[in-house]
């Protein structure tokens, strides 16, 4: 029973620490960090959200993914040809 209480206490402490970090520490760090402020300013200038880069609705990401897929396809074809020529 004691370990269950300990586990709940750990969960509560970690949750509280994360809440405090994201609510108070992150904005404080952002306000004193010139590099983070510059990063956000550049994103605003070019109109790209850093979170949007993880989604496929961004044209640059779509183009990059298409080129990577094509390169992998061509590489696999080349590998298959080399394998067939070696046999």
Confidence of residue 58 (pLDDT cuts 50, 70, 90): low
Q: Is residue 39 part of a domain?
A: no
Query: Residues 39-49: what's their mean pLDDT?
Result: 83
Q: Number of structural domains, the chain?
A: 2
- Lowest mean pLDDT across 37-41, 42-46, 55-59: 55-59
The pTM for the full model equals 0.47
- Is 43 among the domain residues? no
Residues 58 and 24 in one domain: no
The pLDDT of residue 53 is 59
Distance CA 38, CA 85 (A): 54
**Do residues 54 and 82 share a domain?**
yes
């Amino acid at each position: 029973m004691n370990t269950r209480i300990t586990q709940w206490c750990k969960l509560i402490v970690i949750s509280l620490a994360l809440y405090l970090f994201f609510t108070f520490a992150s904005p404080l760090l952002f306000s004193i960090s010139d590099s983070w402020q510059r990063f956000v300013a550049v994103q605003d200038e070019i109109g790209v959200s850093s979170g949007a880069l993880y989604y496929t609705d961004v044209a640059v990401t779509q183009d990059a993914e298409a080129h990577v897929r094509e390169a992998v396809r061509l590489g696999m074809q080349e590998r298959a040809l080399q394998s067939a020529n070696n046999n």
